[in-house]
Structure 1
Amino acid sequence: MTHNINSRISRRVGATALAVTLLAGAAVGSALPAAAGQPHRPELQQAIESLVDAGFGGVQLRVHDQRGDWVGSAGLRKLGEPGKPPTNGRFRIGSNTKVFTATLVLQLVAEGKVGLDSPAADYLPQFALDRRITVRMLLAHTSGLFNHTGEYYPDGTVVPGIPWQGKEWVDLRFHTYQPAELLRYALAKPPRFAPGTDWNYANTNYVAARLLVEQVTGRPFAEELQRRILRPLGLRDTVSPGAAPEITGPHAHSYYRYQDAGQWQLIDVTRQNPSWISSAGDMISTTRDLRTFFAGLLGGRLLPAPLLTQMRTPHPKSGFGLGLRVLEAGPSCGGTLLYHNGGVIGSGTLLYSTPDGSRTMEASLTAGDSAADPSAVFQQAQEKLVNLVFCGKLS
C-alpha cells in the first residue's frame, strides 16, 4: 500500500511544482522536546528529524488523530544559531492560499452575488476576458489562461513568465507587482487551450479570483479575508501580506541557493515581497491556524453543503476540485484525503485532512544550506508524512 499511495501522490502533485522547485537546502539541528500533555509519538519526531537529515533546514509538524493532538519541530530556526523552529511559528503557506481564495469566491456565490457558471468577464469587465471563461473555470484551473509564472509543456517546452527563481528573482525579490498587472501580463500571452477543454494549473486563475472578490465587494482582498474567514474562525496568526516583506511574530528563517556567474550563492530569503504570486500563494499562517481553518471549512462553517461538495469534486484529469485537491488513498490510508500543498522560495507547506476531519496534518518545511535536490526532498517529505500519519506506515 505504501508504494501505491506514493505513486498516487506523485501523480497528483504536478501542480505543486512551484513549491517543489522553490525549496532549497537545509541544516541539521536537534529536535524540540515534546509539548507537555501531548501523546508520546516518537515515530513523528523521528520522521521530521529524518527530513532535516535529508535536506531541510527546519520542520514544524502538527497532527490530529484518534490519539489526540501532537506538535513538534526539528532542525534550526536560523543558520548559525542554536535555537530550534517554534512549534507554532509563522511561515509562508504558498499555494495553500488558493484554498482561502476559493472559499471567498464561493461565499459570494452562496450569497447570490456571483454566478459560479457565469462569465468571469461579467465581474471583471476592464480586462476583456474571453467570455467563455466562467468563474468555476478560474477556481478549477480549466480556464486556459496563461500561467503568469511560466508555462511548462509535456514535450519540455518552457514559456517563461515573470521571474520567480534564480538570480533574476533574487535581484527583484522586493519588487512590487499589482494584481491587475499580473493578469494583464498573462492575457497578453496566448492561452494554453480553449476555455473548459482541458486542465492546467495556473496561478493567474487565482489572481483573477482575487480581483473578482475586490470588484464584487468593493473592498480590498485582505479586508474581505479578515471579515469573512480570519475573524470568524479566530485565525489571529494568519495574514494576506500584500507587498509587505516581513514575517512578524515567531518564525523560522528560510534560505535559497542559486547560481550567479557559475558560482553557488546562499541568501536568507525570509524577507521577500510575495506580490509576484498574489492571492495564488502570498499568505502567512501557522500550523494551528491552518488546522482551524481546514476544520472550519470541511465542517461547514464557511460554506453551505452543496458548494462544499462542489469544492471537493475533482476534475478527472487532475484530482483538483475548486481550490482543493482530492486523493483517493485507499481504505487503509483513510480513504479519501483532501489536501493542498504549496511553497514560495525557501519554504513549503503540507495540508491534509480526511473529509470528516478525524485525521489532519499540517507541516511547514523551511530550506537551509543543503545542496540536496529540492524536488526530491519535498517529494520525500510529502510521501513520508502522508504514509506515516494516514497509513500508519514508516518509510
Structure 2
Amino acid sequence: MAAAALAGAALLTPPPAGAAPVRTAAVSGHGRTRAAMDAAVGAGVPGVLARARDADGAWSGSAGVADMRTGRPPGPADRFRAGSISKTFVATVVLQLEHEGRLSVDDTVEKWLPGVVRGNGNDGRKVTLRQLLGHTSGIFEYAHDPAVHGRGEEYLEHRYDTWEPRQLVAVAMKHAPYFAPGTGWRYANTNYVLAAMVVERATGHPYGTEARRRIVEPLGLRSTVLPGTDSGLPAPAGRAYTAFPEDPGPTDVTEIDPSLFWAAGDLVTSAADLDRFYSALLRGGLLPPAQLREMTTVRPLTGVGSFTGYGLGLARYRTSCGKELWGHDGSVPGTQVMAFATRAAERLLVTYFNTNVFLLTPRAGDVVDAEFC
C-alpha cells in the first residue's frame, strides 16, 4: 500500500510520550531486528532506520548509510517522507469532525464537493466519505494515469511539477470506476485527496492547518511537517534513492514537489513522532471510543500480502508468526516506511528504508517479523 505507484501514500488528552533512553540491540533484546536490518542492507537497501518500543522502553537502531556520498549512517532524529501513513492523519481529522457533529462519514461526497466526482460512470451522489476512507469507493487511482508522469525516468523530468488537488481528481475522473461504490475494495490515493478536500470544505481551512491544529501541535510532533510544495527535507535528513528500468543504479530523488501526493502521502516526519502518533491514536488519545471503533472496523482483505483488513485509514497486519498488528505503511519515490503496533500500542515498531525499489521493499516486512516474532 503505497502513497503512489510511482518510480519503480475537540481532542482528548493524549498519553504522555516519555523520553526513553536509546538502548543497544544486545541490551534490549532487539538483536533479531538488527539482524534483519543488516540483511536488508546486504540485499541492496542503502540505509535502514528503526525505532521499537516495548515494556522496557524505546530502542533505536540503524544499518547502512543515510547518504551514499558522505557515508553518514541514519540517525534516530532523521526526518523522512512517510508516504501513505499520511492517510491515518487524514482519517483521524475526518473522524474528529464527525465526533464534533460537523459531518458524518455516511455523508455523500456530492454533499460536500458538488459536481467534483462526475463523468465516465463516476457519481459523487453514490459515494460516501466512509467509502473514501475505507478504499471501497471504486474511484480510479489517479497515479495510474500517464498524465501524472509517474513512470520510469519520465518521473525525474516532472518531479518538480506542482499539482492542485482538483487537478488530481480530474485526472481520475477521466476513467470509469473500478466497481460500483461499496461492492469491492481497491486502494486509491484519489480517495484521500477527496477526503482532505472535504475537510477543507467542512472547516473553511486548508487541510494542513487542520492537521497541525488537531494532531501535530497537541501531540508535540516537532519533527512532523505538512510540506505543501516545499521540495526539500528539513534537517536532519538523509537522502532518498530509487531505480528505474532504464537505469537500475541508485538515483537520488530526495527533492520532489510533494503536491503530487498531497494529503494522501506528503507527510514528512520522524520515527519518534510516528511512535507518539500511533501510540496516542490506538490508546484513545485522538478519537473517542465510537470513532476509534469505526476506524478499526475492517473490511477483510485477501491477496494483499500480510495485510488482512483495512478500516478507515488504518490497516490490520499479520506477521509470519500470526501476531496481529495495526498501523499503516507508506512509499513515495526513495522511501519505504512501516509503522505497526499491537492493538493497545504496548509494542510498536517504525522502520524506514531510504529506497522504494520494488525488489527490496519486502525486506521491511522481514524487519517487522523479526521484531514481533
- Shorter-chain TM range is 0.7 to 0.9
Deviations 1:71-91 (A, max 9, x none): 011111211213211122000
CA displacement at 1:51 relative to structure 2: 1.1
2:272 aligned residue (288, 295, 299)? 288
Indicate yes or no: 2:128 matched with 1:134: yes
Indicate which of 98, 120, 136 corresponds to 1:109.
98
Contact 2:50 2:351 in 1 (8 A): yes
Note the aligned Cα RMSD (angstroms).
Answer: 2.2
Matches within 5 A, 1:320-331: 320-329=310-319
How do 1:307-386 and structure 2 match up within 5 A? 307-317=291-301, 319-329=309-319, 333-334=322-323, 336-367=324-355, 374-382=357-365, 384-386=366-368
Asked whether 1:198 is paired with 2:187, we answer: no
Match of 1:248 in 2: 234
8 Å Cα contact 2:240-2:334 kept in structure 1: yes
The answer to whether the 8 Å contact 2:3/2:261 transfers is: no
**Count of residues in Structure 1 that have an aligned counterpart in Structure 2:** 348
Q: 1:71 to 1:219 in 2, by over 3 A?
A: same
Deviations 1:202-243 (A, max 9, x none): 110000011111111111111111100000100011111111
Quick one: structure 1 residues 312 and 294, their matched pair in 2 at CA, closer, same or farther if it must change by over 3 Å? same
> In 2, Cα distance between the equivalents of 1:166 and 1:329?
32
Report how far residue 264 of structure 1 moved.
5.0
Partner residue, 2:289: 305
Q: Supply the distance in 2 between the matched residues of 1:100 and 1:35 (Cα, whole angstroms).
A: 27
In structure 2, the partner of 1:29 is none
User: Is the contact made by 2:83 and 2:330 (CA closer than 8 Å) also made in structure 1?
Assistant: yes
Shift of 1:321: 0.6
Q: Take 2:86 and 2:187, find their aligned partners in 1: how far apart are those partners?
A: 14
SS class of match (1:200): coil
- Residue 27 (structure 1) aligns with: none
Rate the CA distance shift 1:116–1:361 in 2: closer, same or farther, 3 A: same
- Answering whether residue 155 of structure 2 is matched by residue 169 of structure 1, we say yes
Please name the residue that 2:15 is paired with: none
Structure 2 residue aligned with 1:75, among 64, 84, 92? 64
Aligned to 2:167: 181
8 Å Cα contact 2:139/2:191 also seen in 1: yes
How far does the alpha carbon of each residue in 1:8-27 deviate from its partner, in whole angstroms, 9 at most, with x for none?
Answer: xxxxxxx34957x757xxxx
1:53-77 per-position Cα deviation (integer Å, ceiling 9, x unaligned): 1111111100112332110111112
Trace 1:206-245 onto structure 2 (pairs within 5 A).
206-245=192-231
Contact 2:46 2:354 in 1 (8 A): yes
Q: Which residue of the partner structure matches residue 13 of structure 2?
A: none
> Which residue, out of 136, 143, 149, partners 2:143?
149
The change in CA–CA distance for 1:305 and 1:22 in structure 2 (over 3 A counts) is farther
Counterparts of 1:36 and 1:352, CA distance in 2: 20
User: Aligned runs of 1:2-81 on 2, under 5 Å?
Assistant: 15-16=1-2, 18=4, 22=7, 35=22, 39-40=27-28, 41-81=30-70
Q: 2: distance between equivalents of 1:71 and 1:298?
A: 21
Report what 2:258 is aligned to.
Answer: 274
How far apart in 2 are the matches of 1:305 and 1:35?
33
- Distance change in 2, residues 1:379/1:267 (3 Å): closer
Contact 1:147 1:161 in 2 (8 A): no
Tell me the amino acid that sits aligned with residue 123 of structure 1. Answer: W
Q: One-letter code of the match for 2:33?
A: L
Letter in 2 for 1:71: S
Partner of 2:16: none
- 2:245 and 2:364 mapped to 1: Cα distance? 25
Q: Which residue of 1 aligns with 2:306?
A: none
2:64–2:73 contact (8 Å) kept in structure 1: yes
Residues of 2 paired with 1:170 and 1:305: CA distance?
45
Range 281-290 or range 191-200, more displaced: 191-200
What is the one-letter code of the residue matched to 1:117? D
Q: Which residue of 2 aligns with 1:390?
A: 372
Contact kept in structure 2, 1:259 and 1:265, CA below 8 Å? no
Distance in 1 of aligned mates of 2:172 and 2:186: 14
In the alignment, residue 336 of structure 2 is paired with which amino acid?
G
Gaps of 5+ in 1: 1-14, 24-33, 151-158, 369-373
Report the TM-score, using the length of structure 1 for normalisation: 0.83
